[in-house]
Chains A and B, each alone.
Chain A
Amino acid sequence: MTFMKMGFRSLFRQRRRTIISLVVITFGIGCLLLTIGHSRYIDWGLRESTIHSETGHLQVFQSAYFDRAEKAVLEYGLENHEQIRNDLDRMADVSLLLARIYLMGLLSNGEKSVACLGQGVEPAKEKRLRGLFRMSSASFDPFIAHEGEAEIIVLGKKLAESLNAKEGDYLTLMTTTASGALNALDLKMIGTFRASSPDYEERAVILPLRTAQALLDTKKVKNLIVTLTDTEKTDLAYEKISELWRRKGYPIILKKWHERAVYYKQVKQFYNQITGFLSMVLFIIVFFSTSNTIVMSVIERTREIGTMLSLGTSRRQTLILFFFEGTFIGVIGGLFSAGFAYAASQLINSFHISLPAPPGLSDAYPLMIRNDGRFYALIFVSTIVVASISALIPALRATRIKIVDALGHI
């Protein structure tokens, strides 16, 4: 206790040096917390946007879908999807169910044909899916406006420009049916949409699910998208639904959202790498900053160390004294860092700053910080550990001082 008290009080002997150390730690670790907070926001945002635009929380496929390659379109699509929907609709945590079909075809205005990627969707449900996360759902508005019409299509904006197509124009979409025959439908263009990727916007079309089924001449869908009331319930819902279908003997397979989100995983890994590297650099700075403070402290207090040793202080107690000094720098620096990062995050979030669109994407994204208590705790503890360890080397040096030399030190 006495050595702890002495360690703490010693921090205030050379206030300027201690303040400089604390400022370095506060800014360094504070910025690290902000970086982590921003990555957490990107992770959370990307996760939720992936779930609420692409993957849902769970996806239902026919069991053979991942085992064999399809020889024909929707060969391993879901046939009994209505029955599965009925079962899922009764589950408390399920907020939304929707089916999708993906197809490839050739879209023509009579003069020019362009290969395209089509998505057969249930527009009202797709809009609701995105609405849960307040995402832009403008792509589906034209379908809502033309409710009741079947042979309609919405084009990616760049694709529409490429075909010089305008609302009301008829375009022919040709594709191969589920049985392998060629089929085509004349579809009225009712609108355009913007996609996050310009490349995708040049190729993408959306059409109602039943129109896609008619074009492919099938009742099947590729998969069912299941959205839950909360992402945290994914594992629990997965277990419940799997158990239900094991009992009923459906030949289906269930996938969690992250198993289907390749892009999300890549982005998350990228941010983890950046954060990891930054953490390493900043903790090295903390290490040397604290170490320097303790080294200077040992040099200045050589005579005092000699006095303490001559009074019967053991080498171990001397080590503990300087170790505590490092620990206190870590504790105070860690607390200041957390306070700084929290205040800065509130300020940044209140400004609603937008960052320019990254390469390959067309939308700007917000500079937001998502604070996470677990990371604050982890970084706080890490700061203390690094500061304490950094004090060990100078502390060991203090324990090796010769008493006689130390007492004569000026």
Chain B
Amino acid sequence: MSLPPVIRMDNVSRHYSLGKTDVTAVNNVDLNIQNGEFLVLAGPSGSGKTTLLNMMGLIDKPTSGKVWLDGEDTTPRSLNNLTAYRRDKIGYIFQTFNLIPVLSVYENIEFPLILSGVSREERRKRVDDAMEKVGLQNRKKHRPRELSGGQCQRVSIARAIVKNPGLILADEPTANLDSATGLEILGLIQRLHEDEGITFIFSSHDPRIIAKGKRVVYLRDGTIEAVEDK
């Protein structure tokens, strides 16, 4: 028996009200993402990449349609009731890194494990391991303000992988970095995907980044324009 898709989206739409205007960010999207995929959501600004990613990450809900995670329909649950899913099953990498400024590098990476109730000893082991994977062993006690953009994004990646999630979502993870650092970060993400088999879904409009995706979903005006399998 084959495993269900990590993410399954059935006829998903998302509308927003901006004053009296109704804006459709995502319109009738059907998408299945299998375990171990390295998928890019590509498209220009306003095409619905971030909205689609937010719904996959269970931080936003569709106006209509259904979002399934690991074979379970998440749509009937409120966002508050999905806290445990976000905590245990999904890792996030943000465009602006979004590290907690009052915590050190080590504490930022450790934070999701504390939320999951992992023991201190186990946390130490896993944080050290994640720091080694992203090459930040000697930055443990530094605060985010003392790091470069590339280092911050490495911390963000370590924070995402430390809880061993089945799925990592990255919203334009290289957009705030210079091109060399961006490629370096992308290389790191690719290596983690290959070594660990983690499912990565990230959004981008940068052709060099899009070229790295094994499957690329092209979005335009909230709908899937094309899907390219490599």
* Chain A complexes with chain B: yes
Residues of A within 8 A of B (CB): 2, 6, 9-10, 13, 303-304, 307-315, 317, 403-404, 407
Chain B residue with minimal CB distance to A304?
B100
Q: List 18 A-B contacts (CB under 8 A).
A: A2-B111, A6-B102, A13-B101, A13-B102, A303-B96, A303-B98, A307-B100, A308-B100, A311-B115, A312-B83, A312-B84, A313-B115, A315-B80, A403-B59, A404-B54, A404-B59, A404-B60, A407-B98
- How far does the alpha carbon of A403 sit from the alpha carbon of B90 in the complex, in Å? 15
Q: Distance in Å from the Cβ of A406 to the closest Cβ of chain B?
A: 9
Contact flags (1/0) for B92-130 with A, using CB distance below 8 Å? 101010101111000100011011100000000000000
* Residues in B neighbouring A6, C-beta threshold 8 A: 100, 102-103
Is residue B147 within 8 Å, beta carbon to beta carbon, of the partner chain? no
Q: How far is the CA of A10 from the CA of B100 in the complex (A)?
A: 10
Judge whether B88 and A312 touch: CB under 8 Å. Answer: yes
In contact, A312 and B98 (Cβ under 8 angstroms):
no
For the complex with contacts A2-B111, A312-B88, 15 further pairs of A-B residues with Cβ separation under 8 Å are A6-B103, A9-B103, A304-B100, A307-B94, A307-B98, A309-B59, A310-B86, A310-B92, A311-B92, A312-B115, A313-B87, A317-B115, A403-B59, A403-B60, A404-B60
Judge whether A304 and B98 touch: CB under 8 Å: yes
- Within 8 Å CB of A2, what residues of B? 107, 111, 114
Q: Which of B57, B100, B103, B107 has the most chain A CB within a 10 Å cutoff?
A: B100
Least distance between B80 CB and chain A CB atoms (Å): 6
Secondary structure of the A side of the interface? Answer: helix
CA gap between A314 and B114 in the complex, in Å: 12
Q: How far is the CB of B46 from chain A (nearest CB, A)?
A: 14
- Which residues of chain B from 106 to 158 have any CB-CB distance to chain A below 8 Å in the complex? 107, 111-112, 114-116
A309 surroundings in chain B (CB, below 8 A): 59, 83, 86
Q: Is there a chain A Cβ closer than 8 Å to B79's Cβ?
A: yes
Residues of A within 8 A of B83 (CB): 309, 312-315
A87 to B194 CA separation, bound complex (whole angstroms): 100
Residues of chain A within 8 A (CB-CB) of B88 are 312
A407 touches B86 (CB 8 A): no
Closest A residue to B60 using CB positions: A404
B88 to chain A: closest residue by CB: A312
Q: Return the chain A residue nearest B103 by Cβ.
A: A6
Most chain B CB within 10 A, of A2, A312, A313, is at A312
In the complex, chain B residues whose CB is within 8 Å of the CB of A10:
102
**A16–B205 alpha-carbon span in the complex (Å):** 41
- The interface residues of chain A lying within 8 Å CB-to-CB of B94 are 307, 407
Shortest Cβ-Cβ A-B pairs, 5 listed? A312-B87, A9-B102, A307-B98, A403-B59, A312-B86
- Chain B residue with the shortest CB-CB distance to A310: B59
| A13 proximity list for chain B (CB < 8 A) | 101-102
Question: Which of chain A's residues have a CB closer than 8 A to the CB of B114?
Answer: 2
| Chain A residue with the shortest CB-CB distance to B112 | A311
Give min CB distance, B84 to chain A, whole Å.
7
Bound form: Cα–Cα A335–B94 in Å: 41
In the complex, how many angstroms separate the beta carbon of B201 from the nearest chain A beta carbon? 15
**Most chain A C-beta atoms within 10 Å of own C-beta, residue among B87, B88, B116:** B87
CB-nearest residue of chain B to A307:
B98
**Cα(A240)–Cα(B127), bound, Å:** 71
Chain A residues lying within 8 Å of B102, measured Cβ to Cβ, are 6, 9-10, 13
Q: Which residue of A lies closest to B85 (CB)?
A: A312
Query: Nearest chain-A residue to B91 (Cβ)?
Result: A311
Of all chain B residues, the one with the shortest Cβ separation from A6 is: B102
B80 touches A311 (CB 8 A): no
Give the residues in chain B near A9, CB-CB below 8 Å: 102-103
Q: How far is the CB of B57 from chain A (nearest CB, A)?
A: 7
The docked-state distance in angstroms from the alpha carbon of A6 to that of B98 is 15
Contacts of B100 in A (CB 8 A): 6, 304, 307-308
A9 to B87, CA, bound (A): 24
Of A308, A310, A312, the residue contacting B116 (CB under 8 A) is A312
Per a CB cutoff under 8 Å, which of B59, B112, B116 touches A407? B59
Q: Which residues of B contact A315 (CB under 8 A)?
A: 80, 83
Q: Which residue of A lies closest to B86 (CB)?
A: A312
Kindly provide the distance from the CB of A172 to the nearest chain B CB, expressed in whole angstroms.
88
Q: Write the nearest CB–CB distance from A308 to chain B, whole angstroms.
A: 7
Expressed in whole angstroms, the Cα–Cα distance for A10 and B115 within the complex equals 19
